[in-house]
């Protein structure tokens, strides 16, 4: 089963190939789907490739081939989406493409779900591009966002529990007292409250059973700040 964004991209690529004979560029795909970065397009293409809907042609730049379309729709009878039309969640339905009247704050936005964050896990190891999660559009601010699953109870007094999904806005700066994803010594990622005093940086847990850790100014890099939380019951 395809996600909404994968479905939108597959249809767009198919129509672009039929209209022009060449694959759309990453910039064109990004513009057509209304995404802010090319990394989102890379993830969607990889997902479509893994599911057998498209393949990359070797030794040719920008070359994609549509192998199949979803069985429950005849995509080749759909009108071709145009670059001037930005897609929004729920724009494309299985019966065809319908224009979005007005984006709603209740719409869902698909974010990459990188994996579980815990002390001792390198941030690069979290970049699992095969999973995503839908979050309310009203939760997001400007910029690039991603989601992480929380492992452990070091932030329970801040209302963050083991198994929660946190929504992170990518940034390299954060004010004192902000809960951030911090990279320690370029190898350990953790979710903690950050405080700076002089040349020292403190990463504070929100659990009295854990100790605050103090680092030098070059040991900690902010990867993003917490802006929201999702929980299943």
- State the catalytic residues: 154, 192
CB atoms within 10 A of CB 54: 25
167 to 62, 82, 170, 228: CA distances (angstroms): 32, 31, 10, 5
Q: What is the DSSP letter of 194?
A: E
| 164-177 core/surface letters (b: 16 or more CB in 10 A; e: else) | bbbbbbebeebeee
CA end-to-end span of the chain: 24
Alpha-carbon distance of 24 to 107, in angstroms, equals: 27
Helix axes 38-50, 4-20, angle to 10 degrees: 90
Identify which of 70, 109, 68 has the alpha carbon closest to the alpha carbon of residue 86.
109
């Amino acid at each position: 089963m395809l996600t909404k964004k994968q479905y939108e991209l597959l249809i767009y690529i198919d129509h672009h190939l039929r209209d022009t004979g060449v694959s759309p560029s990453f910039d064109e795909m990004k513009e057509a789907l209304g995404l802010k970065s090319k990394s989102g397009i890379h993830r969607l293409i990889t997902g479509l490739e893994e599911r057998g809907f498209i393949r990359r042609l070797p030794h040719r730049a920008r070359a994609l081939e549509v192998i199949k379309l979803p069985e429950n729709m005849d995509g080749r009878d759909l009108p071709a989406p145009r670059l001037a039309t930005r897609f929004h969640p729920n724009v494309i339905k299985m019966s065809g493409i319908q224009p979005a009247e007005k984006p709603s704050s209740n719409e869902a936005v698909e974010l990459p779900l990188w994996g579980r964050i815990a002390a001792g896990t390198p941030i690069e190891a979290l970049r699992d591009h095969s999973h995503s999660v839908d979050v309310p559009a009203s939760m997001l601010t400007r910029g690039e966002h991603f989601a992480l699953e929380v492992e452990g109870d070091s932030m329970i007094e801040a209302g963050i529990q083991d198994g929660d999904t946190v929504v992170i806005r990518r940034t390299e700066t954060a004010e004192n007292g902000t809960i951030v994803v911090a990279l320690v010594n370029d190898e350990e990622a953790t979710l903690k409250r950050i405080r700076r005093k002089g040349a020292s940086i403190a990463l504070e847990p929100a659990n009295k059973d854990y100790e605050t850790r103090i680092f030098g100014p070059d040991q900690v890099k902010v990867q993003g700040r917490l802006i929201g939380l999702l929980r299943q019951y």
